[in-house]
Amino acid sequence: MQNKFLGTGQAGFHPLRKIKVIISGLYFAVITDFSVAYKLVLSILFLIAAFYLRRWVDFEILLLATALVLMAEMFNTTVEALCDFVETQHNEKIRIIKDIAAAATGVAILVWFVVLSIELLRLWRFFIDS
């Protein structure tokens, strides 16, 4: 078991190992969770459009909304996986824990959806006017 607080982890600072862990986590989140994958793809498309049109404020807000929704989705998946690992039967406490994690994700999805909708409207107006 690796735990730096218990003194059983690897000593020292290993930035390359951290990057490897981040890439591995992102990879698993994208291939195992469709809701992470489609949000990432949609967000990238909007980010490319904002970048191409030099809409820097829009780009920054899109980046924040994307980070928020992806983080929420990935933490939610983590909570669900942990819950399923410790409890395989129906359990009211697990239900509440999972519902709270899902609600947190719902808040992030709402923000992401509003930002993308406004951006879509702006892009649409831009192409209609030009």
Ligand X SMILES: Nc1ncnc2c1ncn2[C@@H]1O[C@H](COP(=O)(O)OP(=O)(O)OP(=O)(O)O)[C@@H](O)[C@H]1O
**CB 39 within 8 Å of CB 71:** no
Is residue 119 annotated as involved in ligand binding?
no
Quick one: tokens of 90? 């129906």
For ligand X, which is the closer residue by CB, 60 or 87?
87
Quick one: tokens of 52? 């191409």
Q: Could you say whether residue 90 binds ligand X (CB under 6 A)?
A: yes
For ligand X, which is the closer residue by CB, 51 or 75?
75
Q: Could you say whether residue 82 binds ligand X (CB under 6 A)?
A: no
**CB 49 within 8 Å of CB 43:** no
CA distance 13 to 113: 38
Candidate ranges 46-54, 63-71, 94-102, 121-129; the one touching ligand X (CB under 6 A):
94-102
Positions touching ligand X (CB under 6 A) are: 76, 80, 87, 90-91, 94-95, 98-99, 102
